[in-house]
């Protein structure tokens, strides 16, 4: 009996010690409908490698803008997560405000950091003042999603390569009884499609700390959107409703981020889905903005164990094995050499719909943030302007351009 009691006591002591050794970190990320399945796939391998680390998942951000606003509020209230996922275009403000920590001290301790797939081209996306502040987790590009059953029923056999061809396809499909031929992702985060049309003309939306909405290319972009919305008679759908409608087989063509491909495939109805390159404005796009997000360390803990645990999680999810799950469960491309060249060597051959975005990588350009503390407000101004085109409230694109330029200039630093 004494032996049994002693064993029980020793077991209890060991259990208490193990509990004391366990480190809990908090993690926040956007877009639960895209990434929940990704982190679920990652967790078993992470828990096996790090049994003493518990990752507590916070409520997901609705969007990248929501993620940045949330972090800015939490920095004031003293309630920051240890690791946060932020849009590639939203990192700089967190660095400038001292919220995101430099990862250089952690990287310096890693003997095989480069061998894990972290190369300069990837790190440059999150490098500020020659210091790495984030590790990119996923990269996306805009693509076309096509329901080939709807297209063929509407009289379309070949995928369009320009917006003029898209509009012509809309008109043919409408004439053949297709009620909703298109959804064009104007309401995607960060004015991404506005920037896609700008980069298609090889024009950045931000140059020398100024927003280039007064440029001929910006007017071309607004005019192109108006033609798509009006001539295709596009319904003004909220983006989640649009993705659900396309997945259900109700929309012929959808232009959106490749990031949603995994989610679309998981909820796809009985139809043939094909992806194609993002169409151009009369010719092939000269560039396209890189979407996606990066993992940033925002822990305020003084405990070195928490800091190291947060780094272990951050490094794992962006490493070869972790990053490979991004490609397998979403349509994002992992910006990690080891994941793409070793782990996913045959993956894209077997998944041609996910190959489309990879083929567009030579067009990759920066997804630009607007200057100053009012960057999120500028995003909203441009969003509201485009929505006026969708609803038909704005019909004169030159007049709209002048209004947007005035409103945005009022929000820029030193204006």
Instruction: Looking at the structure, tell me whether residues 335 and 381 fall in a common domain.
Output: no
The whole model's pTM is what?
0.86
Considering the domain boundaries, does residue 8 fall inside one? no
What's the domain range around 167? 142-289+370-411
Whether 261 contacts 353, CB under 8 Å: yes
Considering the domain boundaries, does residue 10 fall inside one? no
- The alpha carbon of 306 is separated from its chain's Cα centroid by a whole number of angstroms, namely 27
Considering the domain boundaries, does residue 155 fall inside one? yes
Considering the domain boundaries, does residue 11 fall inside one? no
What is the reported pLDDT for 79? 97
Instruction: Looking at the structure, tell me whether residues 375 and 230 fall in a common domain.
Output: yes
What is the reported pLDDT for 13? 45
Last residue of a domain, one of 338, 360, 382: 360
Considering the domain boundaries, does residue 101 fall inside one? yes
CA 62/CA 153 separation, integer angstroms: 36
The closest of 293, 306, 327 to 126, measured between CA atoms, is 293
Instruction: Looking at the structure, tell me whether residues 243 and 192 fall in a common domain.
Output: yes
Q: Would you write out the chain's pLDDT as a tens digit for each of its 415 residues?
A: 444 545 554 444 444 444 558 999 999 999 999 999 999 999 999 999 999 999 999 999 999 999 999 999 999 999 999 999 999 999 999 999 999 999 999 999 998 787 667 767 667 889 999 999 999 888 899 999 999 999 999 999 999 999 999 999 999 999 999 999 999 999 999 999 999 999 999 999 999 999 999 999 999 999 999 999 999 999 999 999 999 999 999 999 999 999 999 999 999 999 999 999 999 999 999 999 989 999 999 999 999 999 999 999 999 999 888 888 998 999 988 877 778 777 888 898 899 999 999 899 889 898 998 999 999 999 999 999 999 999 999 999 999 999 999 999 999 998 5
What is the rounded end-to-end Cα distance, in angstroms, of the chain? 82
Considering the domain boundaries, does residue 7 fall inside one? no
The set of residues, in sequence order, having a beta carbon less than 8 Å from that of 261 and lying 6+ positions away, is 145, 275, 330, 331, 353, 354
Instruction: Looking at the structure, tell me whether residues 326 and 301 fall in a common domain.
Output: yes
Instruction: Looking at the structure, tell me whether residues 160 and 269 fall in a common domain.
Output: yes
Instruction: Looking at the structure, tell me whether residues 110 and 205 fall in a common domain.
Output: no
Q: What are phi and psi of 54, to 5 degrees?
A: -110, 125
Instruction: Looking at the structure, tell me whether residues 199 and 272 fall in a common domain.
Output: yes
Instruction: Looking at the structure, tell me whether residues 329 and 392 fall in a common domain.
Output: no
What is the reported pLDDT for 4? 53
Instruction: Looking at the structure, tell me whether residues 180 and 214 fall in a common domain.
Output: yes
What is the reported pLDDT for 282? 93
| DSSP structure class, residue 288 | E
Considering the domain boundaries, does residue 365 fall inside one? no
What is the reported pLDDT for 342? 76
Instruction: Looking at the structure, tell me whether residues 231 and 242 fall in a common domain.
Output: yes
Instruction: Looking at the structure, tell me whether residues 177 and 284 fall in a common domain.
Output: yes
Considering the domain boundaries, does residue 339 fall inside one? yes
As to burial, measured by CB atoms within 10 angstroms (0-12 exposed, 13-18 middle, 19+ buried), residue 71 is: buried
What is the reported pLDDT for 361? 87
In total, how many domains does the chain have?
2
Instruction: Looking at the structure, tell me whether residues 188 and 55 fall in a common domain.
Output: no
């Amino acid at each position: 009996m004494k032996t049994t009691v002693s064993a029980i006591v020793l077991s209890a002591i060991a259990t208490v010690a193990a509990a004391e050794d366990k480190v809990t970190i908090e993690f926040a990320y956007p877009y639960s409908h895209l990434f929940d399945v990704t982190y679920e796939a990652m967790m078993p391998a992470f828990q096996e490698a790090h049994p003493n680390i518990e990752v507590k998942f916070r409520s997901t951000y609705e969007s990248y803008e929501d993620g940045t606003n949330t972090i800015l509020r939490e920095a004031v209230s003293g309630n920051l997560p240890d690791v946060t996922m932020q849009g590639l275009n939203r990192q700089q403000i967190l660095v400038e405000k001292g919220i995101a920590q430099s990862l250089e001290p952690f990287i310096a301790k890693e003997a095989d950091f480069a061998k894990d797939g972290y190369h300069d081209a990837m790190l440059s996306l999150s490098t500020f003042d020659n210091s790495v502040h984030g590790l990119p987790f996923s990269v996306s590009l805009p693509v076309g999603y096509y329901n080939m059953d709807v297209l063929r029923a509407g009289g379309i056999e070949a995928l369009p390569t320009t917006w003029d061809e898209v509009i012509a396809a809309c008109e043919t499909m409408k004439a053949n009884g297709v009620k909703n031929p298109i959804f064009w992702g104007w309401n995607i985060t960060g004015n991404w499609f506005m920037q896609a049309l700008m980069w298609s003309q090889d024009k950045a939306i931000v140059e020398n700390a100024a927003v280039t909405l007064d440029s001929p290319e910006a007017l071309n972009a607004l005019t192109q959107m108006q033609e798509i919305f009006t001539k295709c008679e596009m319904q003004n759908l909220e983006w989640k409703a649009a993705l659900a409608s396309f997945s259900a087989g109700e929309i012929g063509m959808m232009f959106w981020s490749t990031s949603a491909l995994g989610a679309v495939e998981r909820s796809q109805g009985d139809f043939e889905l094909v992806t194609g390159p993002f169409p151009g404005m009369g010719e092939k796009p000269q560039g396209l903005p890189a979407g996606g997000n990066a993992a940033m360390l925002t822990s305020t803990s003084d405990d070195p164990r928490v800091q190291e645990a947060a780094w272990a999680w951050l490094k794992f999810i962006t490493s070869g094995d972790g990053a490979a799950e991004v490609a397998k469960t979403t349509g994002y491309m992992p910006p990690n050499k080891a994941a793409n060249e070793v782990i996913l060597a045959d993956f894209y051959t077997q998944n041609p719909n996910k190959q489309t975005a990879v083929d567009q990588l030579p067009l990759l350009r920066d997804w630009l943030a607007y200057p100053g503390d009012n960057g999120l407000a500028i995003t909203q101004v441009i969003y509201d302007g485009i929505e006026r085109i969708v609803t038909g409230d704005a019909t004169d694109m030159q007049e709209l351009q002048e209004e947007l330029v005035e409103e945005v200039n009022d929000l820029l630093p030193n204006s």
